[in-house]
Amino acid sequence: MSNALQEQVSQPTPDQQVVSYDRWRSRLPELKASYQDAKPFPHIVLDDFLESRVVREAASEIPAPESEAWAHYVHINERKLGSTNRKDFPLHVGLIVDALNAPPFLDFLSELTGIPQLQADETLEGGGMHQIRRGGFLNIHADFTVHPKRRHLRRRVNVLLYLNEDWLESYGGDLELWEKDMSKCAHRIQPLLNRVVVFNTDEDAYHGHPDKLTCPEDRTRKSIALYYFTEAQGAVHERSTEYKARPTDGLKSIAIFADKMVLRLYDFAKRRLGLDDRMTARILKLLSRKR
């Protein structure tokens, strides 16, 4: 074999530069059992999941909150920044997104979750880069069940990658997994650098981080969110994001419910009329400034 050909064969592919498949595939039987036995719904936390150098570069590349890259989601049930436009992603963020949407990772994810033939969403509907500033939050919810623009696709799995180095517990922002009856929080997960959380998006898989962030003004909670789908088999309950009040929310629960119903109307219009989230986010941003 020529030196040039040998170098080409040994050169890792882009997804192999991001995910160390040899390390994780050897643990699949153990990880699969842990995932499917987890409570309150199937999930797993994988620390140091991706190549450290790539993750650190991605964390440093996340645009500042003031950047025009962000859509602003500001209403009763959430206060966060999001970006779904893949072509505008920084280099290493894009590498991670592409690797976790590539066939080798889809195969790994299907084996881990026991859900065959998972499909990536190259449109990153609702996913992509997320960032939350001090005072931001995301109320407890179960995710939408069907892709808004591809209604033959049923949502099945979330993969969240956190990009927060030296994140203190006092900053808040833990991902909370709640019991199916919303009686209590069953599990809290700190959003630490290079920590991946994988979980099923069942209709009663309630999760979020409902308490406002208390991090310093110059810190933000950064993450990459990717959602995976399967072809719908038969009738699927088509539902928008289902926000839920906690037992301690008191009168706030009325506002949570009212906001959910408004968002449900918007979701219906979005699915029927093809509305753009970015335009709606701009309107929400302007209304927030007026408030």
Is there a domain that residue 187 lies in? yes
Structure token pair of residue 30: 């153990």
CB 106 within 8 A of CB 70: no
In a domain, 121, yes or no: yes
Domain span at residue 131? Answer: 14-290
The verdict on residue 204 lying in a domain is yes
The Cα–Cα gap between 77 and 199 comes to 21
Query: Residue 259 belongs to a domain with what CATH number?
Result: 2.60.120.620
Could you tell me if residue 152 is inside a domain?
Answer: yes
CA–CA distance, 162 with 136 (Å, rounded to integer): 16
Q: Over the chain, what is the mean pLDDT?
A: 89
3-state secondary structure of 274: coil
Please state, in angstroms and rounded to a whole number, the distance separating the CA atoms of residues 216 and 229: 36
Supply the pLDDT for residue 16.
60
Structure-block tokens of residue 179: 């019991």
Confidence of residue 235 (pLDDT cuts 50, 70, 90): confident
Say how far apart CA 265 and CA 282 lie, in whole Å.
18
Pairing of strands 137-142, 78-83: antiparallel
Average pLDDT value for residue range 180-194: 98
Please check whether residue 2 lies inside any domain of the structure. no
User: What integer pLDDT is reported at residue 5 of this predicted model?
Assistant: 31
User: Which range among 160-169, 215-224, 268-277 shows the weakest confidence by mean pLDDT?
Assistant: 268-277
Q: How many CB atoms lie within 10 A of CB 172?
A: 21
Q: What is the pLDDT of residue 168?
A: 98
74 closest CA partner among 135, 3, 30, 25:
135
Beta strands in 128-206 (DSSP E): 128-132, 137-142, 153-162, 175-178, 185-189, 195-200
- Average pLDDT of the segment spanning 5-11: 39
Q: Write down the pTM of the prediction.
A: 0.88
Query: What integer is the mean pLDDT of 90-118?
Result: 97
Tell me, yes or no, whether 98 lies in a domain.
yes
Q: How many domains does the chain have?
A: 1
Q: What's the pLDDT band for 151 if we cut at 50, 70, 90?
A: confident
Question: CA–CA separation, 91 vs 60, rounded Å?
Answer: 11
- Which pLDDT does position 120 carry in this prediction? 97
Query: Is 144 part of any domain?
Result: yes
pLDDT over 80 (residue 1): no
In the prediction, which pLDDT does 110 show? 98
Looking at the predicted structure, is the pLDDT value of residue 117 above 90? yes
Q: Residue 166 pLDDT > 80, yes or no?
A: yes
194 touches 55 (CB < 8 A): yes
> How would residue 282 be classed by pLDDT, with cut points 50, 70 and 90?
low
How much is the pLDDT for 121? 96
pLDDT digits (tens, 9 = 90+) for 188-214: 999 999 999 999 999 999 999 999 999
Cα 265 to Cα 92, 196, 261, 269: the distances in Å are 37, 32, 6, 6
18-75: per-residue pLDDT in tens? 998 989 999 999 999 999 999 999 999 999 999 999 999 999 999 999 999 999 999 9
- Residue 73: its H or E element: strand 71-75
Instruction: Return the closest-CA partner of residue 131 out of 56, 61, 43.
Output: 61
In a domain, 8, yes or no: no
